[in-house]
Amino acid sequence: MAGRSERQRRQAREKHRRQQELRAARQRAVRKRWLIGLTAVAAAGLIAGLLVAFLPGGSAKKPSASASKSASASASATASASATASAATVAEPAHHCTYTKATPVSKNVGLPPTTPDYAASYQATINTNLGPITVSLLNSKATCTVNSFVHLAETGFFNNTQCHRLLTSGIYVLQCGDAYATSATKLTCSTTSTVGTGTPGYEFASENLTNAKYPAGTVAMANGGTATSNGSQFFIVYKDSSSGLGTSYTPFATVSSGLNIVQNVAKDGTSCTYPQEGGGVPKEKVIIDSVKIKKT
C-alpha cells in the first residue's frame, strides 16, 4: 500500500508540474503577443538590413536589446507586415466605430459608444506621481482610437495603474495602459506575470497609419501584432523612433507638456529586462493617478 501511495503522490506532483509549465507557456505566449508588437518592429528592422525597427509590444515587435531583436526578427517582420496590410481604411473623421470583445480582461469598464463625437476637440491630462503630462488628442485623424481613450479615461480605467515597460534602444518609448499593472503591483520581468498582457475587454482597428511617423512627443497605440488588436495599452515616444517603428501603431495624440517627465524616467533606465519581449521595468516608478479629459 505504501508503494502505491507513493506512486500516486509522484503522479500528482508530476501532473501539477505539467500544469504549471503549460500555464507558464500560455502566459509567455500572451505576453509575447501583447508587449506591443513594438519589439517585432525593431527585430524586423535588423533582419531586413535595418529596414525597419520594432517597438515595445508583442514577442516579435519590440525595440528591445539587439540580441532579442535578431532572435525574433522574422516573426517581427511578419507581424509588422500583417498589422499594416490588414489595417482598415476608414475615412476620417470616422462616424461609426466597431469594438469587439477580447481577452484577457485586466479591468472591465464596458464598451465605448459606437457613435463618436467626431467633430469635438479633446485634450487629456495624464496625472502621474511625477507630474502631469498633457496631450492633444488627434480626433480628426484617429477618431475611434480617441473615442476609446476618452471612454477609458472617463470610466477610470487608467486610474492607479503603472507604466510597465520602458524601451531605451532602437525604439524610445514608455508603455502604459494595462490595468494588470496596478499602482501597488511589484513589477518584475518574470515570464509568468500577467502584466503587459491585459485588454480592456475589447479591441478595435488601427487608424492614421498612412506615412505614420513617431517623433518625440507622439502618443500611439500598442497592439498585439495585427491591425485590429488595439486595446488600452499605449506608449509615449520620448525620442524620435520613426525609423524603428515602421507604420504599424496608431498615432492618436501629441504631448503638449510634460514630455520631460518621460525623458527623465528614461535616463534612469530599467531595473530588469524582459527576456523575450525586450525593454524592461522602469527603475523610476510611473503611476497614473488619473486621466482627465477636456472637450471643446
The domain ranges of the chain are 2-295
SS3 state at 127: strand
Higher-confidence residue: 23 or 281? Answer: 281
Higher pLDDT pick, 65 / 159: 159
Residue 242 cell numbers, joined? 520613426
pLDDT bin (cut points 50, 70, 90) of residue 14 is low
What is the pTM (predicted TM-score) of this model?
0.78
Task: Check pLDDT > 50 for residue 125.
Answer: yes
- Asked if residue 37 has pLDDT above 80, the reply is no
Is 90 exceeded by the pLDDT of residue 223?
yes
Phi and psi (nearest 5°) for 189?
-100, 25
Please check the confidence at residue 40 and state whether its pLDDT lies above 90.
no
Find cell 488619473 and name the residue.
290
Task: Compute the average pLDDT of residues 5-15.
Answer: 69
- Residues 269, 103 contacting (CB under 8 angstroms): no
- Identify the band that residue 38 occupies on the pLDDT scale cut at 50, 70 and 90: low
pLDDT band at 276 (very low <50, low <70, confident <90, very high): confident
Largest CA distance in the chain: 78
Average pLDDT, the chain: 81
Region 2-295: CATH code: 2.40.100.10
Average pLDDT over residues 92-99: 97
Instruction: Give the mean pLDDT of 24-48.
Output: 47
88/264 Cα distance (integer angstroms) = 36
pLDDT at 162 > cutoff 50: yes
Q: Is residue 83 very low, low, confident or very high in pLDDT (cuts 50, 70, 90)?
A: very low
pLDDT: which is higher, 3 or 279: 279
At residue 38, the 3 state secondary structure works out as helix
Percent of the chain with pLDDT over 90: 66
If you ran DSSP here, which 8-state letter would residue 250 be given?
-
> What per-residue confidence (pLDDT) applies to 191?
86
